Amino acid sequence: MLELTMAAVTAAEEGATAGMQMADAPSEPGAVLRVGRDRSVCRLVTPDDWLFVSRVHLEFQCGQDGTWHLTWLRGSLPEPSSEVRITAGEYAGPVAYGGTVALPRGGNGEIVIHDRTAPRSVNVGFYHEV
């Protein structure tokens, strides 16, 4: 099971948890959870006017072995208007635009989408049950 929580945060709301969204999916091959602005395909949806987030920005997909992978999907622009960082255990670092990283089994962490032009972010916490 992968459990996600998401909060859209502006500088004035930092630390607030109001409006938090949650989603989960079983760790079965092919299971998918998405984060973005498109309500028709994303389980966790950001504000419509937050254009630094793509229609479908992040995709969490469960592989054949039950391991979840995070992919920052490439959008329509050659250069993104955001940065994505992951913190999981002792690891903290950027996720490459179009890149994929494996989430630790039985671990937790946070993925943050930072707007490059304003003090706001989308914070996605995760817990990957064994």
What is the C-alpha separation between 110 and 39, in angstroms, rounded? 22
**Do 111 and 84 contact (CB within 8 A), yes or no?**
yes
**Tokens at residue 29, please?**
């091959």
Q: Can you list the residues of the chain whose pLDDT is less than 70?
A: 11-19
CA angle 28, 39, 1 (to 5 degrees): 20
Q: What is the pLDDT of residue 13?
A: 57
Predicted local confidence at residue 101, as pLDDT: 94
What's the confidence (pLDDT) of residue 51? 92
Between CA 23 and CA 119 the distance in angstroms is 25
Number of helical H runs and strand E runs in the chain = 0, 11
Predicted confidence at residue 11, as pLDDT, reads 67
What is the per-residue pLDDT across 25-59, written as a single tens digit (0 to 9) for each? 999 999 999 999 999 999 999 999 999 999 999 99
> Which pLDDT score, from 0 to 100, does residue 14 have?
54
